[in-house]
Amino acid sequence: MQLIPAIDLKNGQCVRLKQGLMEQATVFSDSPAKMAQHWLEQGARRLHLVDLNGAFAGEPKNFPAIAEILAAVSAHIPVQLGGGIRDLATIEKYLNLGLTDVIIGTAAVKNPLFVREACRGFAGHIIVGLDAKDGMVAIDGWATVTEHRVADLSQQFEHDGVNSIIYTDIGRDGMMSGVNIEATVNLARAVNIPIIASGGLTNLDDVRALCAVQHEGIAGAITGRAIYEGTIQFNEAQQLADALTAA
């Protein structure tokens, strides 16, 4: 079970949101690159970046900060990024810069053909991020809840060739209320590609709960506010996950 520190970028700063609300941003660092280096030193094996401004604007908005992060850590660990990725040229630009995987979210729902084209052009580097409320997919920075079921779209994107699905429970993201284990397991059972859990990871009990269901197809969990506010010590949590999921 891989725990993945999140670095959410807003106006070049490292922040965390509550339930996806831009006005509910807490700034944790003015130097995202130093933050990335910190998590590398704490034992992170992958980083999760989100261009929050880009997610709302529909195009990259934190490119300088992202470039600095990649320069600092991409030679050591994989880095994935979502937010504002709407065309193949943007994907190519990021991958050439050193990004390992791009995450397609809103664009995947609005334009499924884009996912298919991305998988063909950049096989093995495409992740789809599906954010949901009560099992229904939300888009546009969570501003709009659609009529699409998470499981249905996940099966479609699996067929297209994405390498994994990041599943975020909107109601729990940034709220320190625990992971929605049941919903995450249900989605993992619906597909044959790895699921990365996101939203609500708060303490070591959540790590234990996720590790207990790893065999269902849950490959990792993204953690944000908990590691910034200290309810989880990242290195301790990763060591626990390793011990609980050792082959």
pLDDT of 230 reads 93
User: Which domain CATH number covers 18?
Assistant: 3.20.20.70
Smallest CA-to-CA distance from 226 within 172, 187, 190 is with: 172
Domain count, the chain: 1
C-alpha of 6 from chain center? 7
- Picking from 111, 141, 241, 129, the residue whose alpha carbon sits closest to that of residue 187 is 129
When pLDDT is averaged across residues 81-99 and rounded to a whole number, the result is 96
The residue with greater pLDDT, 171 or 207, is 207
- The boundaries of the domain holding residue 20 are 2-244
Count other Cβ atoms within 10 Å, centred on residue 46. 19
As given in the structure block, the two tokens for residue 74 are: 């991409």
The pLDDT tens digits of the residues spanning 112-138 come to: 999 999 999 999 999 999 988 888 898
Least confident of 94-98, 124-128, 174-178, 240-244: 174-178
- So which residues are the catalytic ones? 8, 131
Span 155-166, pLDDT tens digits: 999 999 999 999
